[in-house]
Amino acid sequence: MTTDFLKYQKIIEQFRGNVLKNDFETNFSAMTQHILKTDRFLLKMELKRLAVACTRLIDLRGHVDGECRSFEHDGRVHYLDDIAMKVYQENIGFYQGYTFGVYEAVMNTENNFRVIYQKEKSNMGKPVPAETTKVTKVFEKTQYPATLFTFGPYHNRNEERMNFAITLEIQLENDKKEYECTSSDISVEGCKFRFNFSNIITIGQLISIRFRGLEDEFQFGQEKSFDFEVKNIQKVEKTQLLGCKRVYSKDKRVDGFQAFLQGFIQGNKRRYKVNLDNTINAIQSRSFEQFSLPKLNELPIFIEDKKGEVLPRYALTCHNNQATFQYWQDENRHSTLYCLITAERLLSMRKAQALGKSLLVYSFVHKSQGKHFFYTADVQQLNDDIEFKKQFLGFAASKPSFAITQLSIMDVDIDKAHSPLTLSNTLTKKNEYLNLPIPDDAIETLHNLQSIVVANDVTNNVSTKQYQQLSFKNIETTRLKNFGHKRLTSPLMMDEVGINYKNQRQEARFKYVTPVELEIEGVRCSGKSHDFSVLGLKLELDKASVLNKGDVVYLTFPGLQKITSAFDLKGLPYEVMRVNKNKTILNLRVYVEKHQHMGRAFFKALITKNRDKLTPDEYALMIPGLAKALRNIYSRSLTIPSLMVQSSGSRYKLEAIVCGTVKDKLLPVMKQLSDSPLQFNLYPLLNNLQATSTLTLPLKKMQTDDVPVVETLYIAVNLDNKVIDQAVTTKTLNELESPMLQRMFITRALSRGLFFCVQVKLSRTDDPDMDYLNPELSYISSYAIHRGKQIEQDIWSVAGIIQFLDITQETLVRHELLTDVL
C-alpha cells in the first residue's frame, strides 16, 4: 500500500477480504460517496491487490525485536515471532488465505526494526506505509563443514615408518601379564600398535614388546623381547594407539634386531607402503600457507629491543598490506611506524591481550610546507576524557588521512624459525639446501627481536562517516598538539621484508624513481619508474593507457639522460609483459630488434658501478636466511583465520580454514555449531546468500594484483538455541543500512547471546610454486601415486582466499560513542 492510501486506512481495514463478496460494490459505494471518483477507483484497485494470492516466504529473523521460529501454513514455511504469528493468523481469517494483504501486515508489525526506526526518525505515531521489502530465502542447509589446517609445526621423522600389521606380545612395566596386540607401523627405532585393554598407560612408561609375527619367518638374534618407551598416545573410541621408541642398555646400542629391521624395511617398504601421514598433513598445510601469506591484509611488524630501546625493525609486506605500510611513511618515504608503536603502547597491548582485546589507534596526517606530521591517539589515552574523545575523533575523521588501526601483540618464538621438510632424511644432494637450518647470523638477529605487533587497518567509509557526526566545535588545540609526534633527526632503521615463495626474477632488481616518456604509434604519455633491472623495468603512467600484453613501446629517460652522454636513452624499444587492471602500471622487458639494446647496456653499467648505492628490491635482506625465518615465525603465530576458495567444477567450495594458532573468538563458536567434533561449521559466515555471492562471484574476473573485495558482516549467535538457523543471524552492512538498525541489531544480539562484527576480504591467489612443494609431493607420489595426484589437484584448485578479521571491538566503541548523536 502506498502513502496515498494512509488517509483511507479505516476503509481498507473495514473492507479487507470483502472484495469477492456479492455485496462489496453496494457497501463500498455507500461508504465512499464523499471520496473523489479517481481516488475511489484507485482505492478499489488497492483492495483488490491486497486480496491477490501471495507466494512470498517471510523470514523475519534479524528484522524484528522478537524470537523467530518456523511457522508452516498451506505448505509454506515462514520464520515469524509471536507478534507476527498473531497478525498472520488474524489476517488469514479476514482474507481467507495467504494474500498480499496478509504479507504486508506481517512485514509492518510494530516490533519490526524498520518500522521502529521510521517512527523514531519521523517522531510520529502514524501507521508506516508498506514498502517493497526484500524477503530472505529460507535456508534449509545449516551445516557448512570445514577442516582446520594450521601452519606448522611440520614434524619430520628421523626414519621411515612402514605400514605393517603383525601380532605383538606386550608386557607392561611392573605387570607380568602379557597382552596380545596388533602393530600399525614399524621403523628401525620405533613402533606403533593398538592396545584394546583398559590398562592405564602414561607417556614415558617402559614396556616390553615381543614381535611374534616376525619370529615364525625370520631369525634376528637370541633376544625375544625388546624394551620400548611410550612417546605418544592417541585415543580412538575405546582403542588406544601407542607410539613407542626403542630403549637400549648403556653398553649396547646396536643388535641383530636393529640390523634386521633396516634390511627388512628397505626391502619391503614399497610392498607394505611407507606411512605418509605426517608428510601428507605437512604438504596440505604448507601449500595453503604458500597461498595465504602473500595475501595478508595485516602488517606484521617485528619489534627490536636494542640496548633498552624498543623500536620497529622489520615489517613483512605483500601487495595487500602495502597501503598500510606506505601510510606510515613521511614525505621522503622513511618509516614513521615509531609513531604508531611506542613503548607505552606496547605495555597497553600486553594489558589488552590479557583481557582478550586489541588496542585501537586513531590517526591522521597533517601536511605543512611539504612535510608530514603524524597525530595518533589510542583508546586508552582517550578514555580519560569522553567529551574530548568525541571531539578528537570528530576532528580526526574530518581529515582525508583519517585511519583506524587495530593492534595486537605476540611473542617471538625462535623455535618456529626453522620449518624442515618431512622427508625422513631421504633428500637428495640436489635438494639438501631446502632443509638447511637457519644460519647463526640470522639466529643472533632473532634473539634481539622482542615481539611481533600486528597492525590491521580497519578504516572504512561507513565508520568514517559515522565518526564525522561527532562534533569537534571548541576543541582545545593545545590538547590536540599533545598527540602529535616529533620528527626524528635521522630516519628510523626499518627494513621491509617481502613475503615471497615464488621468485621468477632472473636477475637483480633495484628500486629507482625517474621520469619516463612513453611513445607508441605517435601517441605519447608520461610516467615514472618504480624499479629497473638489466632486462626490464616497472613503469607507472600518469594516466590510464590502452596498452596490452605484447605491445612494443618506445621509452625515453630524460632524467637519466642528463647524467650520461655515453648512452642515447631516447626511443628505446620495450615489450609490454604485463598490465594491471587499471592500465596504469606496466611491466616491461627489453625488445631487441637488429642490434644491441642501448637500455640494456646502460642499466648494466649503472648497476655495476653503483651496486652499493642502489636499493635492492629483492625481498631478501643482507643477512641470509633471515627473511625466511621471519616468515616462518609469523606463519606459525598467525591468529587471523582465512578460508581457502577452491574450484570444484564450475563452482567454488569453501571447506578449509587456515591459521597459525587458534585465538580467534569466532572459531570456537563455529566448532560448537558443528555436528562433527573434528570440523567447524561455517554457517555464521556463509548462511547469508548476499554475503556469499559477494565473496565468490568476483573471483572469476579478479586478477592476482587486484585490491581485495571487502564485506562487513554483523553476526548474532544464541548458543542456548539448539536450532542453528534460529541461533545464528547474519546480516551484511548493506542490509543494516543505517546506524540505528546497526545499533538495534547489536543490542538485540548482546541481550540474547554473542555479537560479532567481521570484516572479510577476498583476494585472488597466485599460482603455486611447485619447486617449493615438489620434494614432499614426489615423496608421497613414489609410494602412493593416486594420493599424490589428488593432493596436486587440490593444490591447483585453489583460486582465492577469504581472510576474516574480528572488528567487534571497534564497532562497539563506535556505536557507544554515537548513542547520543543518532
For helices 739-752 and 113-122, angle between their N-to-C axes, nearest 10 degrees? 130
Query: Residue 317 — pLDDT band, cuts 50, 70, 90?
Result: very high
Give the residue-averaged pLDDT of 145-151. Answer: 93
Give the residue-averaged pLDDT of 784-811. Answer: 92
User: What residues pair up with 234 in beta bridges, in sequence order?
Assistant: 241
Query: Residue 487 — pLDDT band, cuts 50, 70, 90?
Result: very high
Do 606 and 662 lie in a common domain? no
Instruction: Write out pLDDT tens, residues 328-353.
Output: 999 988 999 999 999 999 999 999 99
Give the residue-averaged pLDDT of 433-461. Answer: 87
Do 557 and 420 lie in a common domain? no
Do 455 and 584 lie in a common domain? no
Do 494 and 515 lie in a common domain? no
Higher per-residue confidence, 656 vs 24: 656
768 in a structural domain: yes
pLDDT of residue 820: 59
pLDDT of residue 32: 77
Cα(247)–Cα(253) distance, rounded to whole angstroms?
Answer: 9
pLDDT of residue 351: 94
Q: How many CB atoms lie within 10 A of CB 91?
A: 21
628 in a structural domain: no
Q: Which three cell numbers stand for residue 494?
A: 626499518
Do 516 and 485 lie in a common domain? no
Evaluate if residue 238 carries a pLDDT over 70.
yes
Do 432 and 538 lie in a common domain? no
Query: Residue 23 — pLDDT band, cuts 50, 70, 90?
Result: confident
- Any idea which residue has 583508546 for its cell? 379
- Any idea which residue has 473492507 for its cell? 15
Distances in Å between the Cα of 509 and the Cα atoms of 189, 304, 323, 482, 558 are 49, 28, 21, 42, 21
Instruction: Write out pLDDT tens, residues 683-698.
Output: 999 988 888 888 888 8
Q: Are strands 309-317 and 495-498 parallel, antiparallel or unpaired?
A: parallel
Q: What percent of the chain has pLDDT over 90?
A: 42
Give the residue-averaged pLDDT of 277-306. Answer: 91
Query: Residue 561 — pLDDT band, cuts 50, 70, 90?
Result: very high
pLDDT of residue 300: 97
Positive or negative, the CA dihedral 8, 11, 12, 13 is positive
Query: Residue 3 — pLDDT band, cuts 50, 70, 90?
Result: very low
Higher per-residue confidence, 576 vs 125: 576
Q: Are strands 69-73 and 76-80 parallel, antiparallel or unpaired?
A: antiparallel
Q: Are strands 145-150 and 651-659 parallel, antiparallel or unpaired?
A: parallel
Range of the domain at 74: 3-122
Cα(657)–Cα(639) distance, rounded to whole angstroms?
Answer: 12
Cα(277)–Cα(266) distance, rounded to whole angstroms?
Answer: 19
> Which residues does 431 contact at the CB level (< 8 Å), separation at least 6?
775
Evaluate if residue 445 carries a pLDDT over 80.
yes
Helix (H) or strand (E) holding 83: helix 82-95
Distances in Å between the Cα of 500 and the Cα atoms of 191, 456, 661, 769 are 39, 20, 21, 10
Instruction: Write out pLDDT tens, residues 203-221.
Output: 999 999 999 888 877 877 7
What is the number of structural domains in the chain?
Answer: 5
> Which residues does 813 contact at the CB level (< 8 Å), separation at least 6?
360, 379
E strand residue ranges, 625-749: 642-648, 651-659, 680-681, 709-717, 728-732
Residue 61 contacts residue 740 (beta carbons within 8 Å): no
- Residue ending a domain, among 498, 524, 542, is 498
Q: Kindly state the DSSP code that residue 678 receives in the 8-state scheme.
A: T
Distances in Å between the Cα of 350 and the Cα atoms of 301, 315, 343, 356 are 15, 20, 11, 10
The C-alpha R_g of the chain, in whole angstroms, comes to 34
pLDDT of residue 127: 47
Range scoring the smallest mean pLDDT among 133-137, 322-326, 547-551: 133-137
494 in a structural domain: yes
pLDDT of residue 125: 43
pLDDT of residue 196: 87
Do 560 and 605 lie in a common domain? yes
Instruction: Write out pLDDT tens, residues 595-645.
Output: 578 888 898 888 888 877 887 765 444 566 888 899 999 999 999 999 999
Instruction: Write out pLDDT tens, residues 722-732.
Output: 889 899 999 99
pLDDT of residue 2: 42
- Residue ending a domain, among 600, 616, 632, is 616
Instruction: Write out pLDDT tens, residues 719-775.
Output: 998 889 899 999 999 888 888 899 999 999 999 999 999 999 999 999 888 888 888
The domain that holds 531 is classified in CATH as 2.40.10.220
Q: Which three cell numbers stand for residue 771?
A: 619447486
Instruction: Write out pLDDT tens, residues 65-97.
Output: 777 888 888 878 888 888 999 889 888 888 888
Identify the burial level of 216 via C-beta atoms within 10 angstroms of its C-beta, where 0-12 means exposed, 13-18 middle and 19 or more buried.
exposed
282 in a structural domain: no
Q: Which three cell numbers stand for residue 501?
A: 615463495
140 in a structural domain: no
- pTM of the model as a whole: 0.68
Evaluate if residue 464 carries a pLDDT over 70.
yes
Do 455 and 574 lie in a common domain? no
Range scoring the smallest mean pLDDT among 35-49, 159-173, 320-334, 785-799: 35-49
622 in a structural domain: no
pLDDT of residue 745: 93
Query: Residue 252 — pLDDT band, cuts 50, 70, 90?
Result: low
Do 661 and 756 lie in a common domain? yes
303 in a structural domain: yes
pLDDT of residue 617: 66
- Residue ending a domain, among 273, 290, 318, is 273
Do 326 and 441 lie in a common domain? yes
Do 485 and 539 lie in a common domain? no
pLDDT of residue 114: 78
Give the residue-averaged pLDDT of 471-476. Answer: 88
Cα(405)–Cα(455) distance, rounded to whole angstroms?
Answer: 6
Do 494 and 517 lie in a common domain? no
462 in a structural domain: yes
pLDDT of residue 211: 92
